[in-house]
Amino acid sequence: MSTLTLRAAPPERLDFLNINPAALSRLSQGEAERLEVGTTRTGVRLGDCFAVSLDGSDTLTLEGGHERLDRVGASLSAGTIRVTGDVGQRLGAGMAGGRVTVTGHAGPYAASGATGGTITIEGDAGDYAGGAVYAAKAGLDGATLIIRGTAGAHLGDRMRRGTIVAGRAGAFAGSRMIAGTLAALAVGDHPGLGMRRGTLLLGAHGRMASTFVETGTHDLVFLRLLAKALRGLSAEHADLLAKPLRRYSGDLATIAKGEIWVAA
């Protein structure tokens, strides 16, 4: 297991796009320490902030996180990255495979554009987790995002495929959703606003937009299959499907092929 141990708080935001197990396995310790990770003209290198220990394995551990560590795991296609502490924005953005685990909190746009792999945040996540960054066409695009704590607003904004599991989330969860599955124990106002397709599974929610229509309660084979899939990620979320559920169809302001399941 290769290890990067944080010596002190970074003097500026650091870009970890190219810091992954595969890239480090091809470098000597000296070469790794000279990698540019700063985002200003100061020229901060990896060794300026971290003690580097490499063993060529497919597992990388960051001992000590910080909110200034951006795009951790963003270039990951295989292997494992584990962060003990917090990270900044765009955790795992665009990652294609592997596993990223953060024991603390993550900034905004976690897992944006991620096409594969699993991203787990043990703490809270910022706004637009699993959402589309800036002018991107889609947010989460095939990966699995697990947020044990609370996510901010616009969780899963424009997600196109994949799965998001969160404890709680702010307003507009699943907004502009293209497809995929989002499950949360509770969300704020206007879940699914502007969604085209996809499935939201909610334990509780705030105000529902008037462009969703209730279609009654249902006992579908699909719900049993969804429960089986979610149980491997979170038993608490899978248990939501053991209760009677009310279905809402929408958003009628779009093509109205999305659905929201809530506790009846």
Q: What pTM does this model have?
A: 0.95
* Segment 36-45 mean pLDDT: 94
Q: Distance between CA 184 and CA 205 in Å, rounded?
A: 9
* pLDDT confidence of residue 243: 84
Reported as type and span, the H/E element at residue 217 is: strand 213-217
Q: Are 167 and 147 in contact (CB under 8 A)?
A: yes
* pLDDT confidence of residue 219: 83
Q: What is the pLDDT of residues 184-234, one digit of tens each?
A: 999 999 999 999 999 999 999 999 999 999 999 988 899 999 999 999 999
Residue ranges per structural domain of the chain: 1-57, 71-263
* pLDDT confidence of residue 211: 97
* Segment 249-262 mean pLDDT: 96
Q: Distance between CA 38 and CA 247 in Å, rounded?
A: 48
Count CB-CB contacts under 10 A for residue 162. 23
* Mean per-residue pLDDT over the chain, rounded: 96
Among 204, 173, 166, smallest CA distance to 186 is for: 204
What is the number of residues in the chain? Answer: 264
- Token output for 174: 């699943």
Q: What is the pLDDT of residues 72-86, one digit of tens each?
A: 999 899 999 999 999
User: Would the pLDDT of 110 be above 90?
Assistant: yes
Half-sphere exposure of 150 (CA within 13 A, CB side): 7
Q: Distance between CA 242 and CA 221 in Å, rounded?
A: 12
* pLDDT confidence of residue 263: 85
- Token output for 2: 């290769």
